[in-house]
Amino acid sequence: MSSWRATEFALIAGTFTLLGGCQYVGPIAIDQGRDRYNHVIESTTKEQAFANILRVHYNEPTLFMDVTEVDATTTMSGAASGAITNIGARAGTSGGTLAGQTGSFNTGVTYSESPLIRYQPLLGQALVAQLATPVSVDAIWYLYQSGWDVAPLLDFSTAWLTLDSDEFFAALNAIAELDGKSALQLVAEKSDVTKAKDEMASGKLNTDKKTSVILQVTNKAAGAGASDALVIYHLPYHPHDTHKNPRQKARQDMLWRLLLRLYAGTQPKCLPRKPGSEKADDAAGASNTKCTPRPTDSIEVRTMPVTSEQRIDAQLVSGAPMMRTNSALGILKSAVEPQSARIEFVTAADYDQIRSHSWNNPKLNDADLIYYTLPPNKPPPALNVFEREAAAWLADRSKERPAHVYLPPNPEQQFDDFVKVNRVLGQLRRYILIIESDVSPPADAYVAHFEHGKWYYIDGNDVVSQKNFNLISLFMTMMAVPPTNPPLSPAISVGGS
pLDDT digits (tens, 9 = 90+) for 427-486: 999 999 999 999 999 999 999 999 999 999 999 999 999 999 999 998 887 765 544 445
Residue 308 confidence (pLDDT): 87
Residue 132 confidence (pLDDT): 80
Residue 111 confidence (pLDDT): 66
Segment 6-10 shows an average pLDDT of 46
Cα separation, 312 vs 292, in Å, equals: 14
Q: Which residues pair with 233 in a beta bridge?
A: 185, 298
Residue 39 confidence (pLDDT): 85
Segment 12-20 shows an average pLDDT of 48
Report strand pairing: 65-85 vs 102-121.
antiparallel
Residue 487 reports pLDDT greater than 50 = no
Residue 185 confidence (pLDDT): 94
Residues 6 or more apart in contact with residue 478 via CB below 8 angstroms: 135, 139, 142, 143
Contact 405, 422 (CB under 8 A): yes
Contact 460, 348 (CB under 8 A): no
Cα separation, 456 vs 353, in Å, equals: 18
Segment 484-491 shows an average pLDDT of 49
Place 410 in a pLDDT band, splitting at 50, 70 and 90: very high
Place 242 in a pLDDT band, splitting at 50, 70 and 90: low
Q: Which of 81-85, 259-263, 329-333 has the lowest mean pLDDT?
A: 81-85
Segment 237-243 shows an average pLDDT of 62
- DSSP states of 328-388: HHHHHHHHHSGGG-SEEEE-HHHHHHHHHSGGG-TTT-SSPP--EEPPPSS-GGG--HHHH
Most confident region among 39-48, 115-124, 238-247, 456-465 by mean pLDDT = 456-465
Segment 308-327 shows an average pLDDT of 88
- DSSP states of 435-489: EEESSPPPTT-SEEEEETTEEEEE-TT-HHHHHHHHHHHHHHHHT----SS-S--
What's the mean pLDDT when you consider all of the chain?
78
Using alpha carbons, list the distances in angstroms from residue 491 to 115, 117, 119, 484, 488: 11, 6, 7, 18, 10
Residues 6 or more apart in contact with residue 20 via CB below 8 angstroms: none
Higher pLDDT, 88 or 496: 88
Torsions phi, psi for 434 (to 5 deg)? -110, 120
Residue 293 confidence (pLDDT): 74
Q: What digits encode the pLDDT tens for the residues 182-202?
A: 899 999 999 888 875 545 555
Place 232 in a pLDDT band, splitting at 50, 70 and 90: very high
Q: What digits encode the pLDDT tens for the residues 98-125?
A: 556 667 767 776 767 777 777 777 666 6
Higher pLDDT, 317 or 246: 317
Q: What digits encode the pLDDT tens for the residues 280-309?
A: 444 444 444 556 777 889 999 999 998 888
The size of the chain, in residues, is 497
Residue 94 reports pLDDT greater than 60 = no
- DSSP states of 51-101: HHHHHHHTT-----EEEEEEEEEEEEEEEEEEEEESTTPPSSEETTEE-S-
Name all contacts of 20-24 with Cβ < 8 Å and 24+ positions apart: 21/76, 21/78, 21/109, 22/76
Q: Determine how many CB atoms are found less than 10 A away from the CB of residue 337.
A: 13
Q: Which of 374, 301, 371, 320 is nearest to 153 (CA)?
A: 371
Residue 13 confidence (pLDDT): 45
Contact 462, 446 (CB under 8 A): yes
Residue 342 reports pLDDT greater than 80 = yes
Residues 6 or more apart in contact with residue 415 via CB below 8 angstroms: 258, 261
Higher pLDDT, 446 or 130: 446
Higher pLDDT, 204 or 242: 204
Cα separation, 448 vs 466, in Å, equals: 12
Place 10 in a pLDDT band, splitting at 50, 70 and 90: very low
Cα separation, 76 vs 338, in Å, equals: 57
Q: What digits encode the pLDDT tens for the residues 202-221?
A: 556 565 666 666 655 544 44
Q: Which pTM value belongs to this model?
A: 0.77
